[in-house]
């Protein structure tokens, strides 16, 4: 069964508190399904420059709470919380509280973490990828147990929580769990455990750059879908596949724009046109490409940056829920 399209806005910055509320209300009014943040903390400086990542000037949890308070229907999420940055019990409690206060509008995104310079800048030990993924798996287990009746009892290598029941419970019976990543191990885990799988770059370099973009081409994304299927088995048909369209340009000159980005990352213009994290073209061209990607990969949930909220709105209007 073909899943209907959904769209989210992912925002990192705001000029004012009023502007933040205005942005999330606009996303709701324009028909976006969800409003997402990321889980980053560095302000401008050499650590951020080393990551080649945009600054995120507000913290995810209070910003999500403010976004939920300002709106009525839109889902609120984080693509994705880094499980290294807080004790698991604190993270899950905070997330479930947002779900409670928003009356069931949370999408709970979790990931293993990847920005090397952010760990270093905040003085947080960065374990090996395998260890971080193990911590992710244990945090997912805690989140699922938290939603159910009874005392918590997780005794893992990285998460040890017991002796109390998780409250508040989900406002609508369950909170969808999104797991994001780009490597084989994490995507296999996501296929096994997540309701929503967020396909990302394999950020093994610990920063944004040509390596991550290059390992996320059309051909590489096909491999990633295979890893999700390996983990999911028969439940793959029930999983929603989400992807961030980081390079999105609604334009009449798609070819020139794609070629320019291709030169930055060592890819041809044709490769950039087919790149699953990029969208270049008119509204109709982008709609056609999204339909093709849904047919090819099963991707039905697309996230765009806050700076594209208006330009991308005609795509949302044309494909929303179809």
- In the chain (322 residues long), the average pLDDT of successive 10-residue segments reads 95 93 98 97 95 93 97 98 98 98 98 96 97 98 98 98 98 97 97 98 89 94 98 97 97 95 93 97 98 98 97 98 92
Among 53, 38, 42, which residue's Cα sits nearest to residue 205? 53
Provide the residue ranges of all domains of the chain, joining segments of one domain with +.
6-319
Return the residue matching tokens 């769990």: 177
Contact 27, 35 (CB under 8 A): yes
Give the pLDDT of residue 1.
78
Q: What pTM does this model have?
A: 0.97
Q: Is residue 83 helix, strand or coil?
A: coil
**Cα–Cα distance between 239 and 229 in angstroms, integer?**
10
Give the pLDDT of residue 34.
98
Give the pLDDT of residue 182.
96
Instruction: Tell the burial category of 3 from Cβ atoms under 10 Å away from its Cβ (0-12, 13-18, 19+).
Output: middle
**How does 239-258 read in b/e, with b if 16+ C-beta sit within 10 Å?**
bbbbbbbbbbbbbeebeebb
Among 288, 284, 279, which residue's Cα sits nearest to residue 308? 279
Give the pLDDT of residue 51.
93
Radius of gyration of the chain (CA): 19
Give the pLDDT of residue 44.
95
Contact 95, 102 (CB under 8 A): no
Residues 6+ apart with CB under 8 A from 182: 199, 200, 201, 202, 203, 212, 215, 216, 224
Q: What is the CATH number of domain 6-319?
A: 3.20.20.30
Give the pLDDT of residue 10.
97
**DSSP 8-state secondary structure symbol assigned to residue 249:** E
At residue 301, what are phi and psi to the nearest 5 degrees? -125, 115
């Amino acid at each position: 069964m073909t899943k209907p399209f959904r769209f989210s806005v992912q925002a990192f910055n705001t000029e004012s508190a009023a502007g933040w509320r205005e942005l999330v209300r606009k996303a709701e009014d324009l028909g976006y399904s969800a409003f997402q943040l990321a889980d980053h903390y560095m302000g401008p400086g050499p650590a951020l420059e080393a990551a080649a990542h945009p600054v995120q000037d507000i913290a995810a949890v209070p910003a999500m709470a403010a976004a939920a308070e300002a709106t009525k229907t839109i889902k609120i999420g984080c693509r994705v919380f880094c499980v290294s940055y807080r004790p698991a019990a604190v993270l899950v409690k905070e997330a479930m509280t947002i779900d409670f206060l928003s009356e069931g509008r949370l999408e709970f995104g979790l990931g293993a973490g990847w920005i090397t310079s952010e760990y270093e800048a905040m003085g947080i030990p960065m374990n090996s990828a395998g260890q971080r993924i193990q911590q992710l798996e244990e945090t997912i287990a805690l989140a699922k147990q938290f939603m159910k009746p009874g005392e918590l009892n997780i005794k893992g290598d990285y998460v040890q929580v017991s002796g109390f029941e998780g409250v508040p419970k989900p406002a609508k019976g369950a909170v969808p769990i999104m797991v994001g990543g780009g490597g084989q191990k994490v995507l296999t885990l996501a296929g096994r455990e997540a309701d929503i799988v967020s396909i990302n770059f394999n950020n093994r370099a610990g920063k944004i750059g040509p390596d991550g973009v290059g390992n996320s081409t059309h051909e590489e994304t096909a491999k990633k879908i295979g890893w999700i299927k390996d983990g999911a088995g028969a439940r793959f048909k029930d999983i929603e596949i989400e992807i961030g369209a980081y390079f999105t340009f609604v334009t009449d000159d798609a070819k020139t724009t794609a070629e320019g980005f291709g030169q930055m990352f060592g890819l041809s213009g044709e490769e950039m046109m087919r790149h699953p994290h990029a969208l270049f073209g008119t509204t109709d061209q982008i709609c056609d490409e999204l339909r093709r990607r849904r047919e090819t990969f099963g991707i039905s949930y697309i996230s765009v940056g806050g700076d594209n909220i208006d330009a991308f709105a005609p795509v949302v209007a044309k494909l929303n829920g179809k």
